Every structure is written in C-alpha cells, then in structure tokens.
Structure 1
Amino acid sequence: MSGNRRKAFLVSAALVGCTMLMTACQDTNSGASQGSSPAASSDASAAGGGKDSAAKGSDGQGTPAGTGSNENGKIGKCRTDELKVTAKDGTVTGDADGTVAVELKNGSGRDCAMSGYAGVDLKTNAGSLSAKRTGEKADSIVLKDGKSVFFGVHYPVNTSGGSGVRITGLVVTPPDETKSVTLNWPGAGSLPVTQGTDSPVKVGPLGSAGQGG
C-alpha cells in the first residue's frame, strides 16, 4: 500500500470512529433526559398529597371539630333562665279537685334534660303553702329546643261558702334548680280552711298534666 493511500485510510477510520463516538454521546444524553421524567411525576404526586392533607380537618382526619349541638356531646340540664314558665286553669268539669296545668317551654336554643318533680308553692294571705308530691313515677326526659312539658297542680275546691284561704300567686322551681319563677294564680281564688299541717295541694311529675294540660 502506498503512503498516500495509507494516510487516506487512517483519516477515514478516524472519521468513522468520531461519528460513532458522537452517536453514543447523543444516545447517552437522550437517556439522561428521559430519566428525568419520573422525578417530575413524583414531585407532582407529592404536591397533590399536600393538597389532600390541607383539605383535612385540624385533627388530620378530615372531620371538623366541635360539630355537636351540645357541649362534649352531652345534654345539659334545663336551667330556669332558659325556660318559659306559664300556668293555666286545667280543671275538668265534674272533678272533685281543681287543677292548674304548668308549662315549661325550652327556649335555650339547645336540647336539655330534666327529671322528677318541680317545686311548687302557693302564695296565700295566710303565708306560703308548699305542694306535696303525688308519688307518681317520675321519668327523665330530654326536652327539645322549642318544645314544652306540662305537669299538674291539684288543689281542693272551696265549697264551704266562706272566704277560705285566698291564693295570691304561684311559685314554680324547675327540677334540680334553685331559681324560681312567680306567676299569677289562674285557678279558683281560694282554698277551704283545713285542720292539721298536711298540705292539701299536690303536684304531679313532669308530663302528668298531658300535652296542653
């Protein structure tokens, strides 16, 4: 082989080798570029997870706190200041005794609980007269907001023809409360004069007068 032909062959081999080397470099760069896609997708997934976490409640469980209508999920007792207390004559014609129906209406904006008997005192011209319980079973109740419960106050009718003991007012203390409400007395104006210390006035448990008295 002549010297010129040998030089031409070496130059051609060098060009081919360089071309192959450049192709390999391009393939390497292309692989590196494709390899970056999974990382970007992972970042997007992480960002999405952050949004999901932010959408959850403050307790991290997706449930808002403090959604109960009563504190700590418990129903508190009915307070005197949260009740509208009224009374009306509930005497039925033919009954031996007179009856006053007392209404306790829940205006607290929440449900409340009560049970047993209310305290009842009659104000008279001879002093205060406390009603005695009838002894009927007293159930516990949950009084819904805006709803009422009734109980009865029973007293002897004055048929003696005399003035008797004049009633001037009615004092009601809701169950388990110490604050009272004083109302006008809607029943008969007087009680018969009785002997002894037992009160002739009786009070029934919550619900004893029936809805509406």
Structure 2
Amino acid sequence: MKHTRLTALAAISLAATLSLTACGGDDSGTDSSAKGSDTSASQGGGAKAEGGPHAKDGSQAGGSQAGDTQAGDGKDTKAGAADGTAKTGAKVTFCKTADLAIDAADAAPDETTGRINITMINRGSTTCSATGFAGVDIKDADHTSNPIERGRAQPRVTTLKPGDAAVFNLAYDIDTSGKSLASPTNIEVTPPNETHSVTLDWPAGAGDIKGAYTDVQVYPTHTTK
C-alpha cells in the first residue's frame, strides 16, 4: 500500500511539474511573441519615422526640382514664344515686283554657251526674300510667247536688304550656224512668289538660241555677295 501511494504521489508530482513547465513555456512564448511584436513595432515605427521625413523631403525635393524644371521649361518656352512672335513680327516677306529694279545682260562665258543674267535690285525700304525660281517667258519676233522651263538646281536662300541684288540666269546652247529659227525680242520676268511681271529687252549681242525655246532653262536666284 505504501509503495502504491508513493507511486501515485510520484505520478501526481510529475503531472504537476509537466503542467508548470507547460505554463512556463506558454508564458515564455507569449512574452517572446509580445517582445517580438514590440520589436517589430519599434522597428516599423523607426522605419516610418525615418522614411517619412526622407520620403517627404525627397518628394519635396523632387517636386521642387520638377517645379524648377517646369519653370525653366516654361520660361524657355515663353522666351521661345516671344522670340517666335518677334520673328513672326519681323518675318521677311517676298520681294514685290514694284520694289525691284530688274535688268537683263548677256553673260556668255564663251562662244558656245549662252547665258543671260537677270539682276534684281531691292529698291524697297525693307528686307525681302527673292528665294526660288522666277517665272520667265521669251517673246519672239512673231509675237509668240514661250515659257521657259526650270533647270535642275535647288533654290538657295536669297534675302535682300535694301540695295542688295539677286541674280538668276537663263542658259542655252549658242547656234553658230547662222540658221537659228529663234528670234527673241523680249524677256518677261515674274519674280519668285509674285504675280506681277516686267518686260525686258533681249540683250543685244547675245548669241542665237540653238534649237527651240524649250531648250532654254531658267535657274534659281542667288545673291551677288
């Protein structure tokens, strides 16, 4: 009986010990969890505390930089617009026929190459543009008018200040046979981008045209400077 009681007491004691150990483990786990939670919260709070101002500063800095960039771009754009307006306001217009003194002269470089130089001087009070091809018709002694085709050449910017001159030329082959069928008397010139024409005399001494008027070509204007 005594041995049985001791065994029973030992069993009860072991159960109590296990119970206390389990309770201690729960407490330890709870404390650890709470501690871990506190640590996480603390670290999280620290991250927020540090990240908040940095993020804010970064955002403000970014905003400021973006604002500066935008402001800079805005100023540049505004300045560009102002320049554009100024340029538009001072935009060069095409030369008017009435403001041009126009003359034709023989400029053949040799006996086989025909060239007529036509000079246009800006007699106006403002700068103008004579860029491009002039319209040219050659009038014949039989009272016909023959339009002249454009030569293969790219127009060059030809801006004329008051008093400046632009030149374009007519090119053709000279007929040395004495049997040319062309008898030019006048050159009708319409400056580039104009509708009003002037009639000039065919230059005295210019070589006879070989072939037909369709063999004559007009080239774009250029400045004499």
Find the partner of 2:214 among 168, 192, 199: 199
Count matched residues.
137
Secondary structure (helix, strand or coil) at the match of 1:153 reads strand
Unaligned runs of 5+ in 2: 1-86
Match for residue 34 of structure 1?
none
The alpha carbon displacement at 1:71 in A equals: 9.1
**TM-score of the superposition, structure 2-length normalised?**
0.55
Find the partner of 1:114 among 104, 111, 130: 130
The alpha carbon displacement at 1:165 in A equals: 1.5
Find the partner of 1:100 among 108, 116, 131: 116
Cα 1:72–1:182 change in 2 (3 A) is: same
Distance 1:112 1:71 in 2: 14
Match for residue 57 of structure 1?
none
The alpha carbon displacement at 1:163 in A equals: 5.0
Percent of counterpart pairs with the same letter?
Answer: 33
Unaligned runs of 5+ in 1: 1-69
Higher helix share: 2
Measured on the aligned residues, the alpha-carbon RMSD in Å equals: 2.3
Match for residue 37 of structure 2?
none
Match for residue 67 of structure 1?
none
Match for residue 45 of structure 2?
none
Larger radius of gyration: 2
Distance 2:116 2:147 in 1: 15
Match for residue 125 of structure 1?
141
Q: Deviations over 1:2-30 (max 9, x none)?
A: xxxxxxxxxxxxxxxxxxxxxxxxxxxxx
Residue 204 of structure 1 aligns with an amino acid whose one-letter code is Y
Match for residue 26 of structure 2?
none
The alpha carbon displacement at 1:106 in A equals: 0.3
Secondary structure (helix, strand or coil) at the match of 2:98 reads helix
Find the partner of 1:83 among 96, 100, 111: 100
Distance 1:106 1:200 in 2: 30
The alpha carbon displacement at 1:75 in A equals: 1.8
Distance 2:130 2:224 in 1: 16
The alpha carbon displacement at 1:104 in A equals: 0.7
Contact 2:130 2:166 in 1 (8 A): no
**TM-score of the superposition, structure 1-length normalised?**
0.58
Residue 188, structure 1, aligned to residue 188, structure 2: no
Which runs of at least 4 in structure 1 moved beyond 4 Å after TM superposition? none
The alpha carbon displacement at 1:193 in A equals: 4.5
